Amino acid sequence: MTDASAPPFASVTICTFNRSRWLRETLAFITQQDYPAHRWEILVVDNNSSDDTRAVVESFAGAPQPPRYVFEAQQGSSYARNRAIAEADRRSDLVIFTDDDMLGGAGWLQEIVEPFTRPGNERVGAVAGDVIPVFPEGLPAWLDKQWEPLAFRPDVGVLRPSQLPMTANLALRAGVLRETGPFRTDLGRFGHRLTGSEDHELARRVWGAGYTIWYSPPAGLRHQIPASRLTFRYAFKMAFDSARSRVIEKTTAPGHGVGWLLSRLVTYALHVLWCGLLSLLSLVIFQTGWSKRWLTRAAKGAGYVAECCCAVGRKFRGAPPPT
C-alpha cells in the first residue's frame, strides 16, 4: 500500500538537443535536491543530439540521484517531452519539466511540489516556478529589458488564465496529463526552428479541464542565456518563428476563424510597416541598437502576417496545420 503521508513521487524531466555544456551545469544542481531519494527520478531525453550528451548524462552515475538517459530520434521538443511523459515511472504523481540550461538550489524540487500537497489543492493541475534570465557571457545593450523574469505574482498562489507558464519550470499532475493529453507535436521547437507555444496551449487545456495553475516564486530557476542567443540573427528568427507558432495555436481554438485571421493580418501588416519605418529612422540618426530592436519587432509582425496568410489558405482548402 502507498503511504498517504509520503511526498508525491516526481519525475523530473530534461529534454535536450546538442547543449551538453549547459546540460552538465543543470545536472550538477538537479541531482543534489533535498527530496526523499525514493520518491523521485530524473529523466534526460536526448532529442537526437550529435554531441556528447549521452556521455555527460552517464558521468553523473555516481550522483546522489543519478539521471536516466532516454534517446528520442523524432526531432522536436514536443516529441521529446511526450517521450518523457511516456517514460516516467508508473508511480509518478507529478511530471516536472525543466530545460537543459537552468540553474537553481537544492530546495527547488521541494518548493515546486509543495503547493500540490496543501489541503484542498486537489484541483491544482500544475505549478510553475519563476524563470529568471541570466547572461553568463554578457548582454548586448540593445537587448536590455528584452529578457525578463516571469514574475507573475510575488507570493505562492493561483495564476489567472491569461498568465501562461513555461515548460522551463513547470510541474503537472500525471493524472491531469492523462486527462488532457500530451503536448501538441505541431507546436514547439524543431531542431533549429525556433517555434514554440506548445506549453501555452497545454496550459489552456489544463484550465479548460477545470483545474487551476499555481505559481511558486520560491521555486524559481535561473535560465542561462548564452551569447549565441543574443545575436541580431537569433532574435530576428525567434521573433518571426514564435509569432508563427501563436497563429498555429490560436487557429485551432474556438473563435479564431477566417475573420480573426484577416483582422490579425491587417493589424500586423501595419505593425510591420510602422516598426520598419522606426528602424530606418533610428538608423538614420545612428541609433543602431534601437534600429535592431524595431527590426526584431517587425519580424514578429512579419511572422504573424506570413502564418495568417498560410492559415487562411489552409482553412479554405480544409488542410490541417503544418507539422
pLDDT at residue number 1: 38
Determine the number of helices (DSSP H) and then strands (DSSP E) in the chain: 9, 9
| Residue 190 DSSP symbol | B
pLDDT value at 78 more than 90 = yes
- Cα separations in angstroms, 44 against 3, 53, 301: 28, 9, 35
The CATH number of domain 10-226, selected from 3.90.550.10, 2.40.160.210, 3.60.150.10, 3.90.226.10: 3.90.550.10
* pLDDT, tens digit, 9 for 90 and up, residues 111-149: 999 999 999 999 999 999 999 999 999 999 999 888 889
Contact between 98 and 67 under an 8 Å Cβ cutoff? The reply is no
Q: What is the pTM of this model?
A: 0.89
**Residue ranges of domains in the chain:** 10-226, 232-317
CA 164/CA 206 separation, integer angstroms:
11
Contact between 247 and 307 under an 8 Å Cβ cutoff? The reply is yes
CA 215/CA 162 separation, integer angstroms:
13
pLDDT at residue number 274: 96
H helix or E strand, kind and range, residue 266: helix 258-284
Contact between 32 and 116 under an 8 Å Cβ cutoff? The reply is no
* pLDDT, tens digit, 9 for 90 and up, residues 231-289: 999 999 999 998 988 888 887 766 677 888 888 889 999 999 999 999 999 999 989 99
Average pLDDT of the chain to the nearest whole number: 91
Number of other residues whose CB lies within 10 A of the CB of residue 112: 27
Contact between 129 and 169 under an 8 Å Cβ cutoff? The reply is yes
Mean pLDDT of all residues in 198-219: 94
54, 57, 62, 67 alpha-carbon torsion, rounded to 10°: -120
